[in-house]
Structure 1
């Protein structure tokens, strides 16, 4: 979930609601689909991302989070959407409450081998655009489903 900055704030303020800037990446391949990761904290699937650190751009944060969680490096990303609102209201299993403003990128140009961050991720798997898992984390579900639908309507 949180990097040093957010963890430091949480030590001071506890579990009260926070608005958090996040950056995420939907990794995809036209033939394999979308690469999702299973979160260790709630056991649900999501895309790759996390909070933006001070002085970090959203692009830097998205690339850093992708690498930390999966071992993959984004070579070229494209802005997809900014997700906010009621669907981005999230409770972590430890009781932390957040309202996420998530800058979501898409990326089909990446390198590296999948090496999962075992403290956060229990699985990484490719899902066909029309065969996504049912248990997708609420805060990532809408962007994932919209992107998959767009990919299904494209002609390659």
Structure 2
């Protein structure tokens, strides 16, 4: 299924669903950030996805990291909340979502890096390389907040 992301675009389709989601900034021992190149749009992103009815938000982040990367993680902190109504995600199946995302920090506790059917590529990226990768504005914002080492979570 393909997806297109819009930000502050008057031509964006009107949302028909609201999705609660979680993502995670996972780093390796060198401080590099785990990113995936998504199959559905070709852009680089943090691992993450929609919360299931029987999940918690931290549990969603842990599950999504495992599903998309093969790594087992534990949540270590909170980057922020991302609820900007100007961000719209349109899927080829007709769903147009407004997404409510909570972004966590996490550390690796096991597993092995493995590409999933959602990711075309996985890499631990050096911080100075992040700006060079094709990435949606909202992903870059989460990474910027993480890299700023904010004393309080971003609330937006």
- In which range does the TM-score fall when normalised by the shorter chain? 0.7 to 0.9
Change (3 A) 1:42 1:116: same
Correspondence list, 1:28-107, <5 A = 28-29=27-28, 31-86=30-85, 88-107=87-106
| Per-residue deviation, 1:115 | 1.1
The Cα offsets for residues 28-54 of structure 1, whole Å up to 9 and x where unpaired, read as: 135241110000010000001100011
For residues 44 and 111 of structure 1, what CA distance do their matches in structure 2 show? 26
The match for 2:123 is 125
- Are the aligned partners of 1:20 and 1:100 in contact in 2 as well (CA < 8 Å)? yes
Change (3 A) 1:78 1:32: closer
Change (3 A) 1:149 1:115: same
The match for 1:7 is none
- Are the aligned partners of 2:75 and 2:104 in contact in 1 as well (CA < 8 Å)? no
Moved over 6 A (4+): none
- Are the aligned partners of 1:39 and 1:120 in contact in 2 as well (CA < 8 Å)? yes
The match for 2:11 is none
Between Structure 1 and Structure 2, which shows a larger proportion of helix residues? 1
Between Structure 1 and Structure 2, which shows a larger proportion of strand residues? 2
- Are the aligned partners of 1:22 and 1:51 in contact in 2 as well (CA < 8 Å)? yes
| Per-residue deviation, 1:67 | 0.4
Task: Give the TM-score normalised by structure 2.
Answer: 0.77
Could you tell me which runs of 5 or more consecutive residues in structure 2 were left unpaired when the two chains were aligned.
2-13, 151-156
- Aligned CA RMSD, in angstroms, stands at 2.3
Could you tell me which runs of 5 or more consecutive residues in structure 1 were left unpaired when the two chains were aligned.
2-14, 152-156
Change (3 A) 1:111 1:89: same
For residues 39 and 77 of structure 1, what CA distance do their matches in structure 2 show? 24
Q: Match of 2:66, SS? A: helix
Task: Give the TM-score normalised by structure 1.
Answer: 0.77
| Per-residue deviation, 1:130 | 1.8
